Every structure is written in C-alpha cells, then in structure tokens.
Amino acid sequence: MAASGSILGNAVLRVEDPAVLRGEAMYFDDLTAEGLVHIVFVRSTVAHARVESVDTSEAESMPGVLGVYTSANLELPPVQGFIMLPPTFSRPPLAVGTVRFVGDIVACVVAETRAQAVDAAEMVIVDYHPLPVVIDPESALEEGSPLLFPEHGSNLAIEFDFGDDPTVLEEAEVVVEGRFVNQRVAAVPMEPNGALVEADPETGGVKVWVPTQAPFGVRDSLAEAIGIASDKVRVIAPMVGGGFGAKTGLYPEYVVVARLALDLGRAVKWTETRSENMIAMTQGRAQIQYVEMGLKRDGTITGLRVRIVADGGAYPAVGAFLPYLTRSMSQGVYKIPKVQFNSRSATTNTTTTAAYRGAGRPEATAMLERIVDMAAVELGIDPVEIRLKNFLPPQAFPLTTVTGANYDVGEYAKALETATSIAGYEELRADQRARRERGDVKQLGIGVSAYVEVTAGGLFQEYGAIEVEPDGSVKATVGTSSHGQGHETSFKMVVSELLGVPMDRVRIVQSDTALVPRGGGTMGSRSLQIGGSALYRASEAVLEKARTLAGHLLEANVDDIVLHEGGRVGVAGVPASALSWAELSLAAGDQAKLPPNMEPGLAHALDFNQGEATYPFGAHVAVVEVDTETGRVELLRHVAVDDCGRILNPLLVRGQQHGGIAQGVAQALYEGVAYDDDGNPLTANLMDYAMPSAAEFPTFEAVNTVTPTPLNPLGAKGIGESGTIGSTPAVQNAVVDAVSHLGVRHIDMPLTAMRVWQAINAGGA
C-alpha cells in the first residue's frame, strides 16, 4: 500500500492525541476572558404556544444579574435556516409572540457567574397559551393540520417534484413495495455546543470562539445577523469534541451571545448542558420513504419509484433540503434504467433537522438496500446474488446516473465479494439453516449491504498555502477545520512527503478566520481530498521554486536539482553540496541571491479546485443473533469493506470506519428521538436516548479495497461517513433475515427488543 520510502500509505500515530490524553488540549469551555460574564437561556417547555407574557422582574433583582432579555428589549433579525427555503421559516433568536418546539428560546439571563445565571433563569415566569401541536410530518401535510406559520398557508417547507413517469415500472414482471421509516436521531457529540464572544471596543468587532466545523460560514452569517462587517468578526474553532454535521451552521444562540457582548462591552460565554443539547442542537435523518422497485423474475432491476416525506422540524433548515441528496444517490450501485423520485418536507413542532453524518446519503442506501433484500425474498434469490447481478460494472465508469450523479470510479462486486469471503458467508448460511431446522430460540441473521456515496459534493474548492520559515520549518495553512478526525496528522504527512521535512517541523494553521484568508470548512468528507490536495499542490510549487533557487545558487541546471533524503535540495548524486530548507529560506529572503524574476520568499498559496465530487463505495456484512422469545438482538460480527481511493494513513482510515460503523449500528439497533402527542421530547437526556457504548459492540472487522480517483493528485476520496452509510442497512437486513422464516417482512428502526418481539408475534399470527 505504501510506496518505497514514502510516508504516505503508512500507519502514522495521530499527533493530536497526546495533548488530548494529557488534558492539555483547549476546548472552548476551557477558555476564559477578562471580565467574563455568563448567559443562560430560558427555553420553552411547551411545543406550540402563544407567549402571553414574560415576567422577568424577580430574575432581574437576583444577585449578580446584569440583565434579562426577551425579544421586547433585544431586537435581532431572524436567522435563515437554508437559502432555498422561504424566509417565513427563519427563526427569531428570541421568540416573538410564538414558540414552536420544546427548546425554543423565550428569554436569556446574563450574570456574573454561571450559577447566578442558572438561578435567575429559573425565576423567569412565562405565561403560555397552548396551540395545537403536530409532530408527525405526514400529518403536518394533511388538510386541516395545525399550522406552525399560518401566514405561509401550509406546513410544506419545500417540495422536489421531478414529475410522474408512468413508464418507470412498465418493464417489471414483479413490483416490490415498502414503507420505511428512517428515524430522527440526535448527533450527541461528546462536546455540546457553546460560544465565548469577546467585544473589541477599538474596532467595534467581536472575537468568537465556537466549536464549529465551518469558521468562515459562522463568521459571515454572524456578521450579517449582528449588523457589522465580516472583517470585524474573528471566529476561532479551538479543539472541537465532535461535530457529525450538527456543528456546521449558525445557531441563534451565537447571535444572542455576540450581540450582548457588543452591547455590554463584556466577554459573554454560553455553555450548553447535555439536556439542552438534546433539544437545541439540530437533529438528523427523519424521513418516511415509500419505495417501489420493479424487477424481472430473474432478479434484473427495471425501475424504481420513490416518494419521501421529510421532517424539517420547527424552523426548517438544510434538513428539509436533504431529500434532494437522497434522490441524487437513489440509483446507488445498481443498473437501474429508470428512477422516479419526489419528496415533500414538512415543518413540525420538533427540533430542527439538519446535516448528520452522511446527510441524505445514508437515507438513500437504507431504502435501496431494504427494498433489494425484500425483492430477493420475493423472488427466492440469495441477497448477495441479486446484488451481484445488478451491480454497475467497473468498465461503466466514469458514469452519469439517471439522477445526475457523476460517478468517478467503482468496483462494487469486488467489495461485496471481499466482505462475504471474510465473513464466511456460505458457512453462516449453513449455520442459519441448521438453527431453523432445530427450531432454536436464538436465530441467526445475516445482512448484507452495498453502497456508493458522494464526498465533497458541491464543495470542490479549498485554500491551501505553504511557507518555509527562516529556521527551515514549514507553515501549512488550510481552509478546512478539524473536529477530531486527524487533520493535523494527515496534512503534516502530505507536506512531509513533498518537501522531505520531518512532521514535527511542519506547523498546521487552520480554524481561525484571522490567520486563514478563506475556507470552506469541514463537512461532506472533503478535507483530505480537497484541503490535502491544496497543500499538495502548494508544496509542489514551493519545491519547484526551491529547485530553481538551488540551481541558481549552486550554478547547476535546474533539471539536475533534486530533493535529497533528509529534506535537502541539490544536484542529483551530490548530496554533500545540497542546501537545507533553512539555507534556502534565508537565501530566498535576500534579493541579491535570487535568480532574475523570482519573487522573494519560499511560499505559495492557491485554491485547489477538484471540479467534481468523488464517490466512495463499499459493502458490509452484519451477523446478528435474535432471541425469538424476547426479541433481543445481539450483533455478533460486523464486516466492513470500504473503498476510499488511495489510503494515506490506514490508522486514520480505520478509526473513521470504526466510528462510522458504531453510529450506523446505533441507528439500526438503539437510537431514536421520540416525542409524545403534545410534542414533549421523551429522549432529552442520555438516560432515555439509547446511545450505545463500546460494550454493546463486537470487534469490527474493517478492511479496504483501493480504487484511486483520478480527480485529485492524492487519489483519495472521503472516508468520514462511509461506515455510517454501509452499516445501518446491513444490520437492519440481518435482523429481518433472522426472523423472516417466521413471517416477518420488515421492521422499522430502531430494532429494539419490543419491536422485534411484536413483529415476530404479528408475523406468526
């Protein structure tokens, strides 16, 4: 996997970890500032109501309180959730007249200490006049449903209507139908949300520390919200304890904190509690999918029809748009000649939905892999065989799918055959047959899934810069922003490879809008392929400049100048006369030593543009045991074969696979946000929201096939979301497979013991 003498392709330990493990890493809540005050939000305890009055008098008189604010004494413009949605759905940072979900912000308290702010917030008295509640997106779209925004005239946030093709299933000999619920889940990053904002009285600007994936995105939208120029807003993302898509956008809390920091002339800090996080941070998935697949009796797929209803939550944002991405990936890994896909996204009295690890792509794979499994059962074909029969072949690429996705490369059969070989698929099927014949209480289920996903979709460009310092060390500046994935390690490896500089002599600059001129941030599994390629190209340019300079200084032809082992630049075959990076940097700063027409300094900055997305793929096999008397599911094995193109650091790839698998399995078996009929969240803490620990999982068997992409110099595609996409349907298919002989056709996630037990009993009846 690794080239001879190359650091790329080797397992390199994460350089970020020692500081984290020793407790030296600084997260936003570790930070303080002179004159710091604290803010606590008063959140609605009802899902839908008219706010009749807010009594702040007692709270204002409490010790340490500097002010209590509502929309009456702190006017702020509404925050738009997504550019394609009607501005009607924009969210006021502080509720104006109406609250629309449990967690909507009614007021906030600023006090000298956090404890004082908490005590005072409890004394804010809100008089609510309850309004009718709707929590189900299908119900929300029905005629006569309670309206969250009466002025809009309906609860429809956005619709993607691609028309009705009456021929989509006309070639089918068999049509298989299913209704699948891809349930709402919470992001649950280890570090909740928060912000620390310090006013700068000299410039009238603010310095903002937030745990975000996109510092520039926060900067620009925050500047607009508080009415100042973006160059007066400095956003810094310190160490970030996980994001998973939920830390990409502007939260209304950031706006309130920044506005009050300016108004008070004090540093203001908000630290979200876990219970607050479970209702205030955006959530993910939340799709109801109606799927019809047409096939010939030999298993050949002839067409696909999909209708989706998505839940955008109380203030629809990018979550309402994500069905568009689901459509884009709805052909998946298969030769499907016709696809019809339409979707409607509703607003409901629930937490807003947005991106969550995979963002629209896991939903596409989940529905495809369930309907393919159901088709296999209907036609009496093995689930592996029906997939192999319909896979797009390697020679089909590059390929534009019928839904407009531009696939780069793929070897789908190779991934599935590798996964089934590792799992011992035939032996597992034999074990399953034996258990069924014996009538064992514990039945075996084998689930397979195959997927293709899109990474860096629509986010093809990123800033990168390389500068050799006078001491010979290298500063590498990049527009992405890490939240735990190992960017510092990956980027140092790239620079070390190109320039021959030891990794500990490379300094990565990221996540600060004052130190980086621009950047797209980190989402969509784009960082290495786009940001890493930017640093790769910038390093190439610096090396070329160094070769030209060395040739001039050594009076040699530049074609004879090479990078020697140890990071010295000189004449090929003459390492003794080669120049160090420190010597070259000093010479580059001396105009008298430069060749004609060369700019001073050893530096280069650029924006790398890949021009198109990449499409990682893979196959997973899950093996479960289901207790037919209790419905309890145990995951025995999980085999993942993920292809992310060229692998630069297998250790980091494996970590991303393991984390992704864990989150995908968690959705299949455990996690799900629930509300009662009045819109009260029933999973607002980690006692009730079933997020698994490592104890619930077996050791994952994660491997890779390698199909490099031609779209970037690294040959790399994204890996951050692949595990989540492939694992969920594999586990769901495995559980259904375990009890399919008992008459069970489908079970919606999460596959809790109660749901499985009920399905067994209903199937048997």
Domain ranges of the chain: 17-23+457-609, 31-131+193-271, 359-400+409-453+615-764
Closest alpha carbon to 116 in 37, 199, 36 = 37
What is each CA distance from 16 to 482, 494, 523, 648, in whole angstroms?
11, 16, 20, 17
Query: What stretch of H or E contains 433?
Result: helix 425-438
Residue 1 has pLDDT above 80, yes or no: no
Q: Which residues pair with 549 in a beta bridge?
A: none
Rounded Cα distance between 337 and 316, Å, is 33
Q: Classify domain 359-400+409-453+615-764 by CATH number.
A: 3.30.365.10
pLDDT at 202: 86
DSSP 64: T
Q: Max alpha carbon distance in the chain (Å)?
A: 91
Closest alpha carbon to 80 in 138, 157, 195, 185 = 157
Q: Note the CATH architecture for domain 31-131+193-271.
A: Alpha-Beta Complex (3.90)
C-beta separation of 172 from 282 below 8 A: no
Confidence of residue 764 (pLDDT cuts 50, 70, 90): low
Question: Which residue shows structure tokens 């892999």?
Answer: 369
Strands (DSSP E) found in 419-553: 442-452, 461-468, 474-478, 506-509
pLDDT at 763: 81
Mean pLDDT of all residues in 89-99: 98
Q: Is 110 exposed, middle or buried (0-12, 13-18, 19+ CB in 10 A)?
A: buried
DSSP 26: -
User: DSSP secondary structure string, 252-289?
Assistant: HHHHHHHHHHHHHTS-EEEE--HHHHHHHS-EEEEEEE
pLDDT at 403: 97
C-beta separation of 640 from 450 below 8 A: no
Report strand pairing: 98-99 vs 339-346: unpaired
Residue 133 has pLDDT above 60, yes or no: yes
Residue 3 has pLDDT above 60, yes or no: no
Mean pLDDT of all residues in 674-695: 97
Long-range contacts of 681-686 (CB under 8 A, 24+ apart): 681/102, 681/103, 681/278, 681/279, 681/351, 683/186, 683/278, 684/275, 684/278, 684/279, 685/274, 685/275, 685/278, 686/188, 686/274, 686/278
Q: Is 387 exposed, middle or buried (0-12, 13-18, 19+ CB in 10 A)?
A: buried
User: What confidence tens digit (pLDDT) does each residue in 741-750 have?
Assistant: 999 999 999 9
CB neighbourhood size of 206 (10 A): 25
User: What confidence tens digit (pLDDT) does each residue in 239-287 have?
Assistant: 999 999 999 999 999 999 999 999 999 999 999 999 999 999 999 999 9
Query: What stretch of H or E contains 324?
Result: helix 323-328
pLDDT at 576: 93
Strands (DSSP E) found in 187-318: 194-200, 205-209, 233-236, 268-271, 283-295, 301-311
Residue 2 has pLDDT above 50, yes or no: no
Task: Tell me whether the CATH fold assigned to 17-23+457-609 matches the one assigned to 359-400+409-453+615-764.
Answer: yes
Residues of the chain with pLDDT > 70, as a percent, come to: 99
Residue 227 has pLDDT above 70, yes or no: yes
Q: Which fold has domain 17-23+457-609?
A: Aldehyde Oxidoreductase; domain 4 (3.30.365)
User: What confidence tens digit (pLDDT) does each residue in 109-128 have?
Assistant: 999 999 999 999 999 999 99
Rounded Cα distance between 571 and 248, Å, is 48
* Tokens (6 digits) for 389: 């029969």
User: What confidence tens digit (pLDDT) does each residue in 553-606 have?
Assistant: 999 999 999 999 989 999 999 999 999 999 999 999 999 999 999 999 999 999
User: What confidence tens digit (pLDDT) does each residue in 466-511 have?
Assistant: 999 999 999 999 999 999 999 999 999 999 999 999 999 999 999 9
